[in-house]
Homo-oligomer: A and B are copies of this chain.
Amino acid sequence: KKRFNIALLPGDGIGPEVISVAKNVLQQAGSLEGLEFNFQEMPVGGAALDLVGVPLPEESFAAAKQSDAILLGAIGGYKWDNNEKHLRPEMALFYLRRDLKVFANLRPATVLPQLVDASTLKREVAEGVDMMIVRELTGGIYFGEPRGIKTNENGEEVGFNTEFYAAHEIDRIARVAFETARKRRGKLCSVDKANVLDASILWRRRVTALASEYPDVELTHMYVDNAAMQLIRDPKQFDTIVTNNIFGDILSDEASMITGSIGMLPSASLGVSGPGLFEPIHGSAPDIAGQDKANPLATVLSAAMLLKYGLGEEKAAKRIEDAVLDTLNKGFRTGDIYSPGNKLVGCKEMGEEVLKSV
């Protein structure tokens, strides 16, 4: 039997509910494939702030760092919205990303045939959308220095941040993207703002230079403003997208909403070595927390990504993906993806139904 250590970081809001479902599904799928998991659950985000006064306690980080893979629920909530910056729940995410060095954030945006009508886009536009956004996650304006707010020589306050990319940061995320595109439909669109930003000019130059190593991948470039439009006009044109941290933040949220089922979308954050970080794309949804209304499928599918990208256990991953499709085919729906004619269930019941199909 293979054994793996999994760090569970439930976090805030609906985080604990969806993690509890995903944990059971992961265990079941694993045991059917001869995998044994040792789960260690640790507080992060607001939960950690309430317990010990910091968003990412050392023990939580250590457990994550020493694990084979990390499954995270969601972070944040109204309660901590007015905290000072370094005491905000979201800081846990930054520290985790930065200190685990998970520079490659994979965010699929797929429209399942069963859920086409959940999109606000017309059926013929949404149908068949299947893209992967590869977002750079540990660089750019999120981490660039100098940054801050200060008073200038005229006594006026100024705020500033630095968009910064070194060649090697661009190269390594571009390679992940080319490899990803190669395993998909072989099309990579690099999104930048090279008509305005110097950092984007370097980005485009480096990505272009790597293309010759991937002759089987068709590389195109698009400005970010155009990409924001094209995602709405004709999302099916995209296969794999690669972009910087801030553009990736914006475009991946836009793309996920296009699918109409943000409660369905997983993500993976990977580094060169060490554990990957797997989490649903959605937030902590404090308004429905504790009411058994959350859709656990994004976290369940994140567990599938964990198996596939984190542990290399494709078979177990496939079990979970198939179980989710099966459950949808049987008509089970949480509120966020419900449409008349289906069976409305809560978070727990959805979890039980998936378990039956694993």
Residues of A within 8 A of B (CB): 85, 88, 90, 120-122, 125, 141-142, 144, 147-149, 152, 156-168, 193, 195-203, 224-226, 228-234, 246-247, 249-254, 256-258, 262
Residues from chain B with Cβ under 8 Å of A252 in the complex: 225
Asked if A201 and B167 sit within 8 Å, CB to CB, the answer is no
Residue of B nearest to A152 (CB): B166
Is the pair A228, B202 in contact by a Cβ cutoff of 8 Å? no
Residue from B121, B163, B166 within 8 A of A121 (CB atoms): B121
Q: For residue A13, give the distance in angstroms from its CB to the closest CB of chain B.
A: 15
Q: Quick one: given A122-B121, A159-B164, are A198 and B254 in contact (CB under 8 Å)?
A: no
B166 touches A158 (CB 8 A): yes
B254 touches A254 (CB 8 A): yes
Tell me the bound Cα distance from A156 to B162 in angstroms: 18
> Does A256 contact B233, Cβ atoms closer than 8 Å?
no
Write the chain B residue with the least CB distance to A166. B158
Option from B85, B120, B197 in Cβ contact (under 8 Å) with A201: B85
| B249, A225: Cβ atoms closer than 8 Å | yes
- Give the distance to chain B from A253, nearest Cβ to Cβ, in Å: 4
The answer to whether A161 touches B226, judged by C-beta atoms less than 8 angstroms apart, is no
14 contacts between A and B (CB under 8 A): A120-B125, A141-B196, A152-B166, A156-B167, A158-B166, A158-B202, A159-B200, A161-B198, A162-B162, A193-B249, A228-B228, A228-B254, A228-B257, A233-B257
Q: How far is the CB of A230 from chain B (nearest CB, A)?
A: 8
Query: Is B229 a contact partner of A147 (Cβ separation < 8 A)?
Result: no
Q: Is the CB of B162 within 8 A of A158?
A: no
A-B complex: 10 closest residue pairs judged by Cβ atoms: A159-B202, A159-B199, A229-B257, A228-B254, A225-B253, A157-B167, A161-B163, A120-B125, A160-B164, A158-B166
**Would A149 and B202 count as touching, CB distance under 8 A?**
yes
With A and B bound together, what is the CA distance between A156 and B171 in angstroms?
Answer: 12
| Contact assessment for A198 and B125 in the assembled complex, using a CB-CB cutoff below 8 Å | no
Give, as a whole number of angstroms, the nearest-CB distance from A338 to chain B.
Answer: 16
Closest B residue to A256 using CB positions? B229
Determine the distance from Cα of A247 to Cα of B254 in the docked complex, in whole angstroms. Answer: 13
CB of A295 to closest CB in B, whole Å: 15
Chain B's nearest CB lies how many Å from the CB of A290? 22
Complex CA–CA separation, A246 to B247 (angstroms): 10
| CB of A284 to closest CB in B, whole Å | 13
Contact between A120 and B168, CB atoms less than 8 A apart: no
Q: How far is the CA of A21 from the CA of B344 in the complex (A)?
A: 56
Which B residues lie within 8 Å of A258 (CB)? 232
B122 and A199 within 8 A (CB): no
Q: Is the CB of A160 within 8 A of B144?
A: yes
**Given A122-B122, A232-B254, do A158 and B149 touch, yes or no (CB 8 Å)?**
no
